[in-house]
Each structure stands twice: as structure tokens, then as C-alpha cells.
Amino acid sequence: MPDSWSFSKSQIWNTCKKMYYYTYVKRFDADDEGKAAKNLYQLTSLHLYKGELVHKEIERYILQELCGNAYDLNKASVNASRQIDWMYKKMQTIERMNGKTVSEEQLNNAKAEISKCLHNFKSDIWPSIFDYPHVSIESFDKFRCGDVDVLVKLDYVVKDKRSGIKIFDWKTGLKKGDDFYQSVVYAMHAMSKYGLDNEHVSVDMIYLSELNREVLVPDCKDIKEMKGRICDETDEMRSLQGIPEENIGDHCMFCKYYTLCNQSKDRIYSEKVTV
């Protein structure tokens, strides 16, 4: 039974119930399949690792700037590129585990995206936000919604004289339809934590590669809709019984549990034939 809801958990739930099962249920079991799910959970992809590296370097840059120290993001992007090479040569990845080949062009594109994101942050984003009073960076927190804890991870939080609290979220990929609802969740957290009304909280979604910036000040309708979604999805997760069917789609080849899912299907089929 889930005791918490998060946006990442929601995305997995709505992508594939079986992916959710392996991530939040099966990997905690002590049997062979549970151990396999636990090992696969550690895997990352080129896309995910690229975003992780960008977030780490931005965090380091901001902390150094706040301390009055210089931090060379150009050098950081070179180091991040080396980590991309190291990750792909030395570590198992989702792509490799699932039999996909990552080309030299794809690796170079990932490195170029890292450099572009960091350059855009330093030249265009940071000059426009550095004078906001700092609150927190890359922080994990939670708030209560109904009978469930909602978990959040906030990239950068500052004080804003006009809005009260402003939250920045760095995006290293393209805009997605669910980004809006993610920003509503962040706003709900700030309202709960700081005792503010919706008009005194704003969320800036920063798309670093495109240099696109979208500012949300949530209204009561958005918040009510998100509260309903959180409660409904939590009830659905709690009612999950047994092993759900997979939702077959393009996401399968980029799923950590692709090989385990196929083994599970083969085993079930074999058992049915034997019977």
C-alpha cells in the first residue's frame, strides 16, 4: 500500500502499471525476481544521465556564486562530457540492457546538449535571477494532501517581494504536457510550507535548451484538480492486486524492466502450456 505520492510515481503509474509494480512493489521482495528488479532499478539512460549532470553542475554553480566564488561552467561541461563517455563505457545502461545501440552521434549530441544548457543558464538565466534571496536548492520535501504525503524535489527556491515564493525548475528536454501539473504540485507545496495563498506563489519552468521560460501562478481550479488527481491515483495504487498487465508502447524499449517483463511473460506462458 503506497504511503506517498510523487510526480515521478504518477508518471510511471500512467505510463505502465507493470513498470509501477516493479518499481514500487516487486523490487522490495526477497525472491529472485525482486532481486532482479532491485538491480535493474539502478539503471539509467543516456537521456536521464544527461539531465542529472546538468542539474548537478547548475547546483554547484549557484552555490559557488552565492559564496562569491567563480565556477567555470565551460570546464564543467567538458567534465560532464567525459562522464557521459565513462558512463557508457563502464556502466550498464537501459539502452544496452535492452539491446539498443547508442551511436557516436547520439553521444556527441548529448554532450552538445549539456554544453548548450549550461551556457544558456550562465549567460541568460542566472543574470535574471541571481539577486533573488536564496531559500533552498535541490531540496527534497513533502506536504500533506488528504491522507497521503506528497513528495517533491525542488531545483531552486527563492524569495520574491511580489509573489512571496518563487520556484525554478530546470528542464533539459522538450516541453511536455504534464509539466504544467508538475508546477501546480510545486506551488501547492510552497503554499503548504510557507502558509501562502496561491497568488503569492509562482513557478518558473526553465527549458534550458530552448531558452524558453514559462511562469505559472496557479489558480484555485488548477489546485483543486491536482488534489483530486493525487487522491484518485493514490486510491488506484492502493487497490493494485497481483501483477498488472503491461502497457505495450514505444516506452518499452526505454524501460528498466524490459528484459524482466519479457522473462515474466515467457514464464507465465510456459506455466499455462504445462498446465
Looking at residue 1, what is its pLDDT? Answer: 45
Looking at residue 87, what is its pLDDT? Answer: 87
Looking at residue 273, what is its pLDDT? Answer: 36
pLDDT tens string 11-42: 999 999 999 999 999 999 999 999 999 999 99
Q: Could you tell me the residue ranges of all domains in the chain?
A: 43-131, 134-234
DSSP collapsed to 3 states, the chain? CCCEEEHHHHHHHHHCHHHHHHHHCHHHCCCHHHHHHHHHHCCCCHHHHHHHHHHHHHHHHHHHHHCCCCCCHHHHHHHHHHHHHHHHHHCCCHHHHCCCCCCHHHHHHHHHHHHHHHHHHHHHHHHHHCCCCEEEEEEEEEEEECCEEEEEEEEEEEEECCCEEEEEEEECCCCCCCHHHHHHHHHHHHHHHHCCCHHHEEEEEEECCCCEEEEECCCHHHHHHHHHHHHHHHHHHHCCCCCCCCCCCHHHHHCCCHHHHHHHHHHHHHHHHHC
- CATH code of the region 134-234: 3.30.70
Looking at residue 3, what is its pLDDT? Answer: 81
Looking at residue 271, what is its pLDDT? Answer: 41
pTM: 0.90
| 226 backbone dihedrals φ, ψ, rounded to 5° | -70, -40
pLDDT tens string 224-248: 999 999 999 999 999 999 999 999 9
* Stretches in the chain below the pLDDT threshold 50: 1, 266-275
